[in-house]
Amino acid sequence: MNKEIERPVEAIRSADFVYIIGNGGSASTANHFANDLVKMAGIKAISLCANEAVVSAYANDNGYANVFTEQLKIFLAPADLLISISGSGTSMNIVKALEYAQQKGVPTWSMPTMREKGMDMQEVEDEHLRLAHAIAKELAKV
């Protein structure tokens, strides 16, 4: 197995349920990744970006910085995994969700940011989708 995907593959295999978060293009990648995990690998996964009614309701009532944390308060269990996808890694809703999961003792994994990879936004978005596909393909192996 490719060393780059070893940690997330093992974390996903160990998790009861996988939650994936992101904003903008990263939200699209989160949706796509969740789809691939479910369909290709039979992994229980969902993108917390996918339900625009829930996201917009929390954004309206609790502020956009809380759209993921509020959902995690309802769904997240100790044996779950939270995956974040972010070009910058600094979006407050991503940071707060990761902090919440870590406070609850739930494992997290974040895709590398553009700063970590030395890439611009478009390049790191391509890298995120490449990683998502590599992880899903590895998990789909029987």
Q: How confident is the model over 51-109, as pLDDT tens digits?
A: 999 999 999 999 999 999 999 999 999 999 999 999 999 999 999 999 999 999 999 99
User: Structural domain tally of the chain?
Assistant: 1
Answer for the pair 119, 54: CB distance below 8 angstroms, yes or no.
no
CA–CA distance, 37 with 7 (Å, rounded to integer): 16
Structure tokens at 54: 């829930």
Amino acid at 137: K
Question: Does residue 35 contact residue 63 with C-beta atoms inside 8 Å?
Answer: no
Query: Residue 14 is part of which domain span?
Result: 3-140
Instruction: Determine how many CB atoms are found less than 10 A away from the CB of residue 134.
Output: 16
CA 22 to chain centre: 6
Q: Which H or E run includes 81? A: strand 81-85
| Digit-coded pLDDT (tens) for 107-129 | 999 999 999 999 999 999 999 99
pTM summary value: 0.97
Give bridge partners of residue 18 from the DSSP assignment. Answer: 45, 81
CATH of the domain at 17: 3.40.50.10490
